[in-house]
Amino acid sequence: MQRVSVHRLGEVLLASLQQELTDSLAVALQQDLTGMAAAGTRGVIIDISQVEIVDSFLARVLAEIAAATRILAGRTVVCGMRPSVAITMVEMGLGLPGLHTTRSLEDALTLLEAGEVSP
């Protein structure tokens, strides 16, 4: 089965979501990230700059990744959300509890390196 690839950059795990993400692909990513986020991982970055919609299912998967990562002493940063996605989420009443957000991948790396922001 097709999977979202996860890259390790030192102490950070990076997953870039593709444009079209099925529910099972999102769940598989959640399992992969949780499995890989062992000790020594500072955090997880999920790049959603290519993602065209975030519905309540994907929002829940992201929140659960954040919750699992937090237990393993890391933080989850979601970066690059598109304006149309942000507006739609707000209209629906969806947020991303427990997640950090940044504009760019660089900002996400800086945030995890600085390590001073509380969730």
Residues that bind another protein (CB under 8 A): 20, 22-24, 52-57, 59-60, 63, 78-96, 101-104, 107
- Provide the minimum distance between the beta carbon of 38 and another protein in the complex, in angstroms, as a whole number: 27
One-letter identity of residue 49: S
DSSP-based three-state secondary structure for 7: strand
Give the orientation angle of helix 56-71 with respect to helix 23-36, to 10 degrees.
10
DSSP 8-state code for residue 72 = T
**For residue 118, what are its two tokens?**
């509380």
Taking the complex as a whole, how short is the minimal distance between the CB of residue 96 and another protein, in angstroms? Answer: 6
Q: Which is nearer to another protein, 38 or 90 (CB)?
A: 90
Cα torsion angle, 97, 83, 15, 53, sign? positive
Nearest distance from C-beta of residue 40 to another protein, angstroms: 26
Instruction: Give 39 or 83: the residue with its C-beta nearer to another protein.
Output: 83
Closer Cβ to another protein, 13 or 54, answer by number: 54
